């Protein structure tokens, strides 16, 4: 359970406290004894990551900020320290825990709190509690004390709420969350947050002739859905909407080109892009970002059922383009292409798609960077890069040269859905670009989302990579609009 966050003005003598230090001074308000202060100062000289003081009636944790590294890395180190402290915090079984700072940078309290909230997330919905004797737990309340703006705390609460439910959606197995039930969850989130959700069922998808989504769905017993999420506040500052597109493959077997070995493990998380777009829309609506933003989520599973689409099939996409199927495991780009084509009806300022799309992206950048390909104005990429550093969901750009698109040529159709063995992530991006009539940013999160082990506060099998990046990016765009006006 996520702890409740409250702001307090006074630290009481029996409060357990985490204090982030910008220097070696120990503030009096921590109410430590002379002996405890001497111990802490000796440990500070030893440059330990954190110092723990176990008093009779409380616990005190001291964190000394690192020096001589870029500010965005100081922020990330603080989040990671929160992760490293989580086990000790749990063992001490606090009901409440104060988080404060002394001579630290503005925002340090929020950064540590964010790191701790993201670190203690767990997906235990299907675990039975019977027979367990583990009574230890994380704090029920985090009490923040210091120079904190209410708006920043609201942002922190709403953003981490979104990360929690997004991770939950990604973790759900397909026998509990097929495309139809995913659309139901999206509708509930929209109703709660305040954005509109329209769900197009199979009949409407067929009427629209979304050939990519329908082809991928042919091997499934469950119907596809196409969700349209719309946040359009009265005070929106953009004349043209920004459209977000999320890949919603609720399970990917590879189709008739079935995945082998361990490659099918975790494929219930192949809808992470869809969950992340939903999480971003939640944050945008809950924090009332004054932008018109639309989310498009095509969703199905990809299975080798009796009428599954096959290698060599030629399908007609939503934009009337014909595609030769070179591999049924390159399905994500097909459903995204229909959605990107559909986005054109809104004449958007920008289209951003996010997807666990290619193993190539993961092999290129590992878990350290989101692969980015784009034909959009550099102002967007520069801002994304800045926001990526701020939340430490960094982007790394791959070339988007026209020559890569030549590898998608087909002898029998307008293009194929795969190229050669080389440059797989780029070729997938070039495929999507063919369906974009407006500027496109393509984010491939295969490496940063499908983790084999925890990466500090980013858990394996569903970290919601890109949610904090895009939410912060949209907030900054709204701010830039207001600055211009």
Catalytic residues, which ones? Answer: 259, 333
Number of H helices, E strands in the chain: 15, 18
Give the H/E segment covering residue 42: helix 34-45
- The CA angle 277-177-367, to the nearest 5 degrees, is 50
How far is 102 from 108, CA to CA, in rounded Å?
10
How far is 347 from 53, CA to CA, in rounded Å?
59
Residues 399, 400, 403, 409, CA torsion sign: positive
Neighbours of 375 (CB within 10 A): 14
Residue 324, beta-bridge partner list: 314, 416
Place of tokens 């305040």: 194
How far is 299 from 185, CA to CA, in rounded Å?
13
Structure tokens at 31: 């109410």
Question: What's the Rg (C-alpha) of the chain?
Answer: 24
Torsion, Cα 317 323 329 331, to 10 degrees, reads -20
């Amino acid at each position: 359970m996520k702890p409740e966050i409250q702001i307090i003005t006074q630290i009481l003598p029996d409060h357990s406290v985490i204090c982030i230090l910008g220097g070696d001074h120990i503030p009096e308000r921590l109410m430590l004894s002379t002996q405890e202060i001497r111990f802490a100062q000796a440990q500070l000289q030893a440059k330990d990551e954190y110092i723990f003081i176990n008093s009779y009636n409380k616990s005190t944790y001291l964190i000394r900020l690192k020096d001589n590294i870029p500010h965005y890395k100081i922020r990330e180190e603080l989040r990671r320290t929160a992760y490293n402290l989580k086990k000790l915090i749990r063992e001490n079984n606090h009901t409440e825990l104060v988080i404060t700072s002394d001579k630290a940078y503005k925002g340090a309290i929020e950064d540590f709190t964010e790191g701790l909230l993201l670190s203690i997330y767990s997906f235990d919905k299907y675990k039975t509690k019977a027979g367990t004797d583990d009574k230890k737990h994380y704090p029920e309340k985090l009490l923040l004390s210091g120079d904190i703006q209410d708006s920043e705390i609201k942002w922190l609460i709403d953003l981490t709420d979104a990360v929690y439910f997004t991770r939950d959606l990604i973790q759900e197995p397909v026998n509990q969350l097929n495309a139809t039930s995913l659309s139901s969850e999206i509708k509930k989130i929209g109703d709660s947050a305040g954005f509109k959700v329209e769900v197009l069922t199979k009949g409407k998808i067929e009427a629209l002739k979304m050939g990519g989504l329908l082809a991928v769905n042919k091997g499934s017993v469950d119907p596809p859905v196409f969700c349209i999420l719309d946040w359009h506040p009265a005070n929106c500052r953009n004349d043209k909407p920004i459209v977000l597109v999320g890949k919603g493959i609720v399970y990917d077997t590879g189709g008739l080109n079935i995945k082998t070995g361990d490659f099918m493990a975790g494929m219930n998380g192949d809808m992470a892009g869809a969950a992340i777009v939903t999480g971003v829309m939640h944050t945008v609506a809950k924090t009332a970002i004054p932008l018109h933003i639309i989310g498009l989520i095509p969703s199905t599973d990809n299975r080798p059922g009796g009428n599954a689409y096959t290698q060599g099939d030629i399908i007609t996409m939503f934009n009337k383009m014909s595609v030769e199927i070179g591999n049924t495991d390159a399905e994500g780009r097909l459903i995204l292409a229909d959605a990107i084509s559909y986005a054109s009806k809104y004449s958007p300022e920008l289209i951003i798609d996010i997807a666990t799309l290619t193993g190539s992206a993961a092999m290129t950048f590992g878990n350290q960077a989101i692969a980015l390909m784009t034909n959009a104005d550099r102002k967007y990429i520069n801002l994304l890069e800045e926001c990526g550093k701020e939340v430490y969901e960094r982007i790394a750009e791959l070339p988007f040269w026209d020559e890569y698109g030549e590898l998608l040529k087909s002898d029998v159709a307008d293009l194929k859905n795969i190229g050669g063995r080389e440059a797989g992530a780029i070729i997938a991006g070039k495929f999507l670009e063919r369906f974009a009539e407006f500027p496109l940013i393509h984010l491939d999160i295969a490496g940063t989302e499908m983790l084999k082990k925890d990466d500090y506060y980013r858990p394996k099998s569903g970290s919601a990579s890109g949610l904090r990046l895009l939410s912060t990016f949209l907030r900054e765009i709204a701010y830039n609009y207001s600055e211009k006006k």
